[in-house]
Amino acid sequence: MNEVYIPNNMNIARRMTGIIMLIIGVALIIALYYVKIRSQTANQEVRRLERLVVEEENAIRVLQAEIAFLENPDRLSNLSNIYLSLQPISAKNIISIDEIVNEFPLREAKVD
């Protein structure tokens, strides 16, 4: 008779400990799965945002190139010559302040 007598309460305590450990293990597995899924989702979001940033940077570079082309002084000068036909101001087109008053007299205000 080498068997050791274990009271009934001891068996119940071992079973309860085993059940509690199992519940804790399942809870840890669920928590680990949740954290894994959240981290994968966050990584996907980071990659998506990085792609958007690269696309926006490319769009900015294209717009800067377009602005540089549109603001090119030679191009603007050619367009000015073609569409505006502007000429330099000659001395005969300049008048003094006294001549402005004579040329464009003030009108009397209408009183109603």
Q: Is 10 helix (H, G, I), strand (E, B) or coil?
A: helix
pTM of the model: 0.52
Predicted pLDDT of residue 103: 82
Predicted pLDDT of residue 95: 84
More confident residue, 53 or 15: 53
Predicted pLDDT of residue 91: 82
Buried b (16+ CB within 10 A) or exposed e, 48-64: eeeeeeeeeeeeeeeee
Predicted pLDDT of residue 87: 77
pLDDT tens, position by position, 17-71: 999 999 999 999 999 999 999 999 999 999 999 999 999 999 999 999 999 999 9
Q: Is the pLDDT of residue 101 over 90?
A: no
